[in-house]
Amino acid sequence: MPAIHETRRRFMTHFASIGLGSTLVPGIVWARMQDAGAQKVTLEMVTDAMKLSGLPFTDDELKAMVDSANTNLTRYEEIRAIHIPNDVSPPFHFSAIVPGIEVNKTKLPFKLSAPPAVKRPANLEDVAFWPVRHLAELVKTKQVTSSELTEMYLGRLHRYNSTLNYAVTFLDDVARAQATQADAEIAAGKYRGPLHGIPWGCKDIISVKGFKTTWGSPAFKDQSFDYDASVVEMLRDAGAVLLAKLATGELASGDQWFGGQTKSPWDPTQGSSGSSAGPSSATAAGCCGFAIGTETAGSILSPAARCGLAGLRPTFGRVSRYGVMALSWTQDRLGPICRYAEDCAIVMQAIAKPDGRDMSVSDVPFNWNAQLDVRKLRVGYIKESFDELTNATVKQNAAKTLDTLKSIGVSTFIPLQIPETLTNLGGLGVESTVFFDEHARAGRMKEARGGGRANGRLIPAVEYLQSQRVRMMMMVKLAEATKNVDVYVVASNLSAGGPGRNGREGRGSGEGRGRGNANQPPRPQSPAQRHSNMANLACYPAINIPNGFSDGGTPTNVTFFARPFGEMELLALAKAYQDAAGFHEVQPKLDA
């Protein structure tokens, strides 16, 4: 019987890969094989199955399919006998740039805002919620050592973990050693820059050499790798101090992991949402200076919104994914989760560059100029995203956001018309299935939620590639719709005191969520929902910013978007808004 089940898996995979008709085809062929007790595909099996494809095939074509299927079984076994490391991607690479999009490839001087006037407080914990820009000035002026900052943050990290459940692995010894090194270098006049000596936290799908990288799953809770992810190396080179591996939703989905649910510090009865749950919760609770999260379909923006943070989802191709669990080679992005937009620029300066490992990373330079005149930016908005809000407080805060932007010099808002287009393309399922294939065949996915990501096996290769062509068409339409703006504003998809706009779970709440009842027609998408899906698939940069508070005291939010590689303009407007609004300075009330 085990041999028959293995044959079933082989043939389901084969017929999915060569695109034979509908998703029912593998099941039909398997049923015929099981009835006949056969180990190979026959002409009769394929003929019956192809009746469901809706396409006519000649006898010669059907015979060729049978020969190909049976011949390829040997090839598949040869390929499956080869161990493919996690960080081997397909030899083709996605680009967010389409006709009609121009990017600036000139490297400009990195210009921070004027040094803030900072003074060490009597109680060092008073700086726990300070922006990185301010912490850096404390360290640079030698009012505080990295070791002191590190001990303060480690103390908070341990103290609040029992309430918020954001840490998987504490790295106290690593942090203390790195802080000691930073102090010695700074004392010797070898200051590396604004991240030198600043403590940070790492999402637990990112590899740190010699320590567990669990992917949030009981199936991998003892897993570790003998190399650092590129982002870990780059931040270490910048002098940042790594405190902990922070919780990810299981296999980068939601906020539930094998240790339970990660909570929001604003309301510990709520999960922190999205798979960058731990980085967002710990940063918002003042337990690290900043964190690194990842996003495929909302896992930076959503938990940053729930936790009231400035979470940046960069353009695809900005930051190397080497050493990071993959969900989609054409959608995965790494980005900073901070309190302040300029902090995101500081982190991006360290990590947004090619590493010679992830070949999807672009050579477009990351530029930052804190003196950029936001009054000269062309700012758009999706009016419908504001109009459709039904919660009175959320709607009021959204309107005040536009008023604040006007007060800092945005004279007019250009309304954007979001084109009607297909956005439910299903590529994530295929790419995720490929990444976990070896683990599934080895039986390591039995304990994992979602099993072996088997749904992707039922998407024919032809249909997958056609969907990517449709994706390209959609990207061209979005580029056309946004061509007259530098940055544009969208009312947040997280409503006050609840999981999503109008009380529903937001589309950006985390990767890997169910798609509902397949027998029910899809719900009509609002222009804002359609845009969210389009901008994600097109891999546009976006930053979430808190824009007020709900009646229950939890953050409400707004999201700024830009066209590919437009992070400087995006962050400049976000910073200007934060400077005027000040919501990033409000702290959650925590009980140990």
The CA-based dihedral angle spanning residues 11, 66, 425, 519, taken in that order and rounded to the nearest 10 degrees: -70
Q: With cut-offs at 50, 70 and 90, classify the pLDDT of residue 425.
A: confident
Residue of 299, 302, 328, 362 with catalytic role: 299
What is the DSSP pairing of strand 260-261 with strand 241-246? unpaired
Lowest mean per-residue pLDDT among 31-40, 135-144, 185-194, 421-430? 31-40
Structural domain containing residue 138: 127-417+477-511+523-585
CATH number at residue 265: 3.90.1300.10
What distance, in Å, lies between the first and last C-alpha atoms of the chain?
55
For 256, the token pair is: 């539930």
Percent of the chain with pLDDT over 70: 86
Could you confirm whether 275 is annotated as catalytic?
A: yes
> Is residue 592 situated within a structural domain?
no
526 is catalytic: no
3-state secondary structure of 113: coil
Split at pLDDT 50, 70, 90, the class of 43 is confident
State the maximum Cα–Cα separation within the chain, in Å, rounded to a whole number.
85
In this predicted structure, the answer to whether residue 438 has a pLDDT above a threshold of 80 is yes
Residues 6+ apart with CB under 8 A from 514: none
Residue 484 has pLDDT above 60, yes or no: yes
Into how many domains does the chain fold? 1
Residue 149: inside a domain? yes
107 is a domain residue: no
pTM to 2 decimal places = 0.88
Q: What is the pLDDT of residue 30?
A: 47
pLDDT for 514? 37
State yes or no: is 299 an active-site residue: yes
pLDDT score at 67: 81
| Annotated active-site residue in 146, 203, 302, 362 | 203
Alpha helices per DSSP H over 37-141: 43-50, 59-80, 132-140
Does a structural domain hold residue 353? yes
Tens digits of residue pLDDT in 72-94: 667 778 888 889 998 899 888 99
Is residue 102 in some structural domain? Answer: no
Which of 347, 325, 326, 322 shows the shortest CA–CA distance to 336? Answer: 347
Q: Is residue 248 part of a domain?
A: yes
**Which of 166-180, 190-204, 335-349, 435-449 is predicted least confidently?**
435-449
pLDDT tens figures, 345-370: 999 999 999 999 999 999 999 999 99
Query: Which pLDDT does position 461 carry in this prediction?
Result: 85
Question: Under a CB-based contact definition with an 8 Å cutoff, are residues 157 and 282 in contact?
Answer: yes
Other CB atoms within 10 Å distance of the CB of residue 102: 10
Q: What is the pLDDT of residues 503-532, one digit of tens each?
A: 223 333 444 433 344 445 556 678 888 899
